[in-house]
Amino acid sequence: MKKKMSHRFLFSFFIWLAVCPLWGQANFGIEGHLENERLLLQLDSALLDVPILFVRHGSGQHQVVWSRERNHILLTLPRIRSELGFYLPIYDNYAIKFHVLGRFPILKERSDERSVFIDATELFLQTPIKWGFGDPETVFLDQSYISEVAYLDNETIIRTKRTTAFQNSRRTRAVDFSFYKLPDPMMPRLFDHRMAFAYEDQYDKLNGQVKTENGSITRWRLEKSDGGAAISDPIKPIVLYFDPKTPDKWKPYIKAGVLEWLPPFEKAGFSNAIEVRELPKDKGEHVENSVNYSMVRWSKFVEVRGGQIRGGSSVRKIIDKRTGEILKADILLANPFPGLTDDYIVRCAPLDPRARQYPLPDDLKGKLIQYVTAHEMGHILGIRDANFGEFAYPLERMWDAEWLETMGHTPSVMSYCRHNHVAQPEDNIPPDLLIQKVGPMDAFQIQWGYQQIPKAGSPEAEKPYLDTIVARQDSLPWLRYNIGTFETLGPGSVNQVVGNDDPVKSTELSLKNLKRVLELLPALNKDQRDDELLERLYDRSLELWYHQMFHVLSMIGGYEIQYKKGSQKGLVYDPIPMADQEEAMDFLLQNALDTPDWLSNPSFLPRIRYSMSTDKLLEYQVKLLTELANPLRIKRLEQMERIGSHEGITQRLLLTLGQHLFKDLKGMDRKAQELQWAYISVLSKAVQKNNLDVGVDYRIDGYGYSSYVKSIFHMQGKSIYKRLGKGLGENIDPIIKAHLQRCLKELDGVAMENRSR
């Protein structure tokens, strides 16, 4: 009798395994059946009219509702009602109330009171659904199919192979979808524009707002297991799993990058808040696209020829938009090489002997992977890319090893400041202290975003306590944040360079290292099969030079920035002192517009250049020149004059620029001629363009110049016209003479003088 019972049990067990491929997981009310390549969904009646998540992995998410309408089942995308009491717009359009994604006849012969059956095949293979910012796809049904249905806790996963139109041809991709049961809502934390957390639907918008009080920040649900303890393990930690394709040798560095955030969480009251694990062996590929499992994904193109491109890593998140709770997040490590290594070489080769060989040793490459993982982990935790106190660190701390150990050379790993290229070889900074890492600003953000406030029973009740945390920005400027806009508003808003309180001196030191880098490049290239590395690193060096010059340029018309709430006193935009702006202009004239020979004509140039069409240095110089005269920058200078702190700065800086460009008409080289022509083009267009928009509102065109600035340009144009005319009477090279004649002809409209020559 016992043997019969045992056999019967085993038979039932294997039948059950065949039905449920991921055993031990509970179905939450949606079950899929593949019959004759059709997908029949069985929906529990209790699931109807209940909001759930509908996810296309890698593309986006929708909060949807299944409902019954007579003999049909509707899948509807309604507006989400936030726990803060307002509705989130659909497709960033406040006027849309709902969108019916699908309408399916009920299969009466299989349905009953407890559940209904529908044929949902077309929902996954043909229904045009907008995911993220991409347009709906054209799917070829004859080359597409549903491959599998799987189940995890509170999740039903539908796996498909979809063939779609792609670049005048077709491509087939694996595309996975999930239906996921939403958790009970947690209490939101109110968005504050002074902090760098994203809000719940920010990435559904083409232009995310900078200032709004009407939103919840995105964060994980962390709750102390011991509510009375100052520091406690969370009830449920944040867990990330390794992609099985991740090479074992990089796993310790990736894990270290993720766990760089443990100390900030300890300051917020949580021990062991984050874990990194291997995927359970019994789950395998079934969980790689799942709301239940957050992943660190290794680049899928690393081993593909042509995949060795410079691409950035990123993250993907799934969010309960009712509250801002992050339900799942993946780090996507793009092909980490050669981008990471090139960036490090052109910044730190003079300071780190390991960076004077190619390829770099694995221990250094691992540290660079750790750095980029730490940055992406910040996004996983809810923090945005931004600028964090870069104009606040004292310059002399950039070569202070004790400071660098505790504070880093930048306050946050979430900026794009990269590695320390300001310290000099004689400073003997330990190489690991050159690499960007989680810093004091990151701990400040985590404390504000995650620290529990036990006596606060609502988001509004939390605000007074949170405001006391934010108030630290008043006395510690490196805890301030500003979001990048289409205008770079000052040295605290630039990227790609180390920021500090003396951009001019900092750039002088950086240029010394960059010159050393160019001297090292031939030796780096000697064991290569061709000169591709040499050319790539030279181009990257020129790019870094441009960013260094732009760092100084940002001081002109630049501000120190501190976001504030209405009750806070003081300026939000505090102009850079006039004397500092003039110093910045002098530096640029000598170091950017006068071409440094070591940069423009290195010894190896004939190996990699055969045409002036690749003169990237000249392109950067012209770009810097036009940026100096950018109408938005000039309008900021005018604003500084208007508030009375920088009288005459606009005229003084523009006239200084013009005088420098045309100071030497006899000995100027070809680059000087190109810069002269570029500036004359600016003058000509500025004076002759009508700035009035004749639309309904009769507004002034924000991208043009004011009458005041046009008058300055007109005055300057006349002065340059006379200078060029005088130059024609001197004994000069015929080519230079022809150049001056071209310039005069272009200036005729500016100077309002016509002279036959």
Which of 548, 545, 556, 444 has the alpha carbon at shortest distance from 495?
Answer: 548
Helix (H, G, I), strand (E, B) or coil at 757: coil
Which of 75, 79, 76 has the alpha carbon at shortest distance from 90?
Answer: 79
- Could you identify the residue written with the tokens 């009491």? 85
Q: How many domains would you assign to the chain? A: 2
Per-residue pLDDT tens digits for 409-457? 999 999 999 999 999 999 999 999 999 999 999 999 999 999 999 889 9
Residue 637 lies in a domain: yes
- Could you identify the residue written with the tokens 């760098």? 196
Which of 208, 125, 114 has the alpha carbon at shortest distance from 162?
Answer: 125
193 exposure class (CB count in 10 Å sphere: 0-12, 13-18, 19+): middle
Residue 94 lies in a domain: yes
Rounded to a whole number, what is the largest CA-CA distance in the chain? 120
Q: In which band, very low, low, confident or very high, does the pLDDT at 26 lie, cut at 50, 70 and 90? A: very low
Residue 107 lies in a domain: yes
Q: Write out the two tokens for 262.
A: 């443990």
Report, as an integer, the average pLDDT of 63-84.
Answer: 96
Q: Write out the two tokens for 119.
A: 């044929």
Per-residue pLDDT tens digits for 157-204? 999 999 998 888 899 999 999 999 999 999 999 999 999 999 998 877
DSSP state of 528: S
Q: Write out the two tokens for 366.
A: 């691992």
The angle, 0 to 180 degrees and rounded to 10, between the axes of the packed helices 532-553 and 616-628 is: 10
- Select from 139, 160, 182 the last residue of a domain: 182
DSSP per-residue codes, 538-596: HHHHHHHHHHHHHHHHTTTT-EEE----TT--S-SEEEPPHHHHHHHHHHHIIIIISPP
**Average pLDDT of the chain to the nearest whole number:** 89
Q: In which band, very low, low, confident or very high, does the pLDDT at 490 lie, cut at 50, 70 and 90? A: very high
The continuous run of DSSP H or E covering 602 comes out as none
Question: 42 and 30 in contact (C-beta within 8 Å)?
Answer: yes
Using CA atoms in the order 542, 543, 544, 549, what is the torsion angle rounded to 10 degrees?
90
Per-residue pLDDT tens digits for 504-539? 999 999 999 999 999 999 999 999 999 999 999 999
**Could you tell me which residues are beta bridge partners of residue 40?**
33, 119
Confidence (pLDDT) at 507: 98
- Select from 124, 155, 182 the last residue of a domain: 182
Higher confidence at residue 253 or residue 683? Answer: 253
Instruction: Give Rg (Cα) of the chain.
Output: 31
Question: 238 and 249 in contact (C-beta within 8 Å)?
Answer: no
Question: 536 and 517 in contact (C-beta within 8 Å)?
Answer: no
Question: 391 and 381 in contact (C-beta within 8 Å)?
Answer: no
Residue 665 lies in a domain: yes
Q: Write out the two tokens for 571.
A: 């300026």
Q: Does residue 338 have a cis bond before it (omega within 30 degrees)? A: yes
Question: 183 and 325 in contact (C-beta within 8 Å)?
Answer: yes
Residue 443 lies in a domain: no
Q: What percent of the chain has a predicted confidence (pLDDT) above 70?
A: 90
Cα–Cα distance measured from residue 752 to residue 146, given in angstroms and rounded to the nearest whole number? 73
- Select from 122, 157, 182 the last residue of a domain: 182
Q: Write out the two tokens for 35.
A: 């019959």
Helix (H, G, I), strand (E, B) or coil at 376: helix
Cα–Cα distance measured from residue 546 to residue 533, given in angstroms and rounded to the nearest whole number? 20
Say whether pTM exceeds 0.75: yes
In SS3 terms, 208-269 reads as CCCCCCCCEECECCCCECCCCCCCECECCCEEEEECCCCCHHHHHHHHHHHHCCHHHHHHCC
Residue 138 lies in a domain: yes
Which of 268, 266, 92 has the alpha carbon at shortest distance from 189?
Answer: 268
Residue 80 lies in a domain: yes
Question: 657 and 585 in contact (C-beta within 8 Å)?
Answer: yes
Confidence (pLDDT) at 695: 43
Question: 229 and 477 in contact (C-beta within 8 Å)?
Answer: no
Confidence (pLDDT) at 334: 83
The angle, 0 to 180 degrees and rounded to 10, between the axes of the packed helices 649-661 and 670-688 is: 140
Report, as an integer, the average pLDDT of 313-340.
Answer: 92
Confidence (pLDDT) at 27: 67
What is the distance in angstroms between the CA of the first residue and the CA of the last residue of the chain?
Answer: 118
Residue 676 lies in a domain: yes
Higher confidence at residue 647 or residue 138? Answer: 647
Per-residue pLDDT tens digits for 695-753? 444 344 456 889 899 999 999 999 999 999 998 888 888 999 999 999 999 888 776 54
Per-residue pLDDT tens digits for 642-669? 998 899 999 999 999 999 999 888 888 8
Cα–Cα distance measured from residue 480 to residue 474, given in angstroms and rounded to the nearest whole number? 8
- What's the domain range around 673? 629-757
Which of 420, 557, 580 has the alpha carbon at shortest distance from 488?
Answer: 557
Higher confidence at residue 4 or residue 122? Answer: 122
